[in-house]
A and B are shown apart, each in its own frame.
Chain A
């Protein structure tokens, strides 16, 4: 399978696990998407370093939308396009799906174990320096 197909499959499997196997329903929760918005920003940053410096190099035949020849292996040290040609911040768009599957599956398991009573406590917070006027619930 191509990276594209595997990445889509990975996301479908993880969402199915979340909704029906572990019943954690994280993808229906506001707290998950708020955290994920932060995570995906830093993914674009750190993955941009990994791919922009060509620490990890992608085979253009395995990713979608790429027509850049010869950017795999030791063919060239030039970085891939920052945007376009199947890439966002140097990284293949498939990496966003890969990252979603990786992080979401982790969080599903984390919440699953909490629901099962495995170290549910101590819970997170409160912050060391809480807001002076905490918003009413």
Chain B
């Protein structure tokens, strides 16, 4: 990161698009993912750590790199752009919202179980 590199939000903008494209599910399909935040944290943090390690290895091995003109220029743990760390939080969150969105739409239908259903139908909405 040089002194002359301006901060760019291109990558952050893509992440914002992913958030905007999925967070509405929480309201309109009542996915209730954010309010189950402890389960959310327990699911995302291990995955984010694992994939950050993969990322650090891939960057060190020269598998890929990032254009300084398109990222914030803030790095964690050496060469890992913070934009990329946020990617590993935003994408798993979007994935969970997508799964719970489908479950909301298919609620109560046989053959659409995900395996964590409780015995009682919680209709406390």
Contact = CB atoms under 8 A, between A and B. Distances in A.
Contacts, number: 183
A124 B104 contact: yes
Interface in A1-50: 1-3, 6, 10, 24-26, 29-32, 34-35, 38-39, 42, 46, 49-50
Interface string A101-128: 0110111011101110011111111111
Contact of B96 (A34, A54, A107, A126): A107
A59 B99 CA distance: 33
A59 B62 contact: yes
B42 A120 contact: no
A126 B107 contact: yes
B88 to A, nearest CB: 7
A57 interface: yes
A70 interface: no
B111 interface: yes
A105 B122 CA distance: 27
B66 A55 contact: yes
A58 interface: yes
Contact of B114 (A31, A54, A99, A126): A31
A73 B19 CA distance: 29
Contacts of B65: 56-57, 59, 72-73
Contacts of B42: 109, 113, 118
Given A56-B64, A109-B42, A119 B36 contact: yes
A35 B11 contact: no
Of B33, B100, B110, B124, most buried by chain A (CB within 10 Å of CB) is B100
A110 to B, nearest CB: 4
A30 B102 CA distance: 10
A113 B122 CA distance: 18
26 contacts: A29-B113, A38-B102, A39-B94, A53-B10, A55-B67, A56-B67, A57-B67, A61-B62, A62-B61, A72-B62, A102-B47, A102-B95, A103-B95, A105-B47, A106-B44, A106-B95, A107-B95, A109-B43, A114-B115, A114-B116, A119-B36, A123-B32, A123-B118, A124-B30, A125-B105, A128-B29
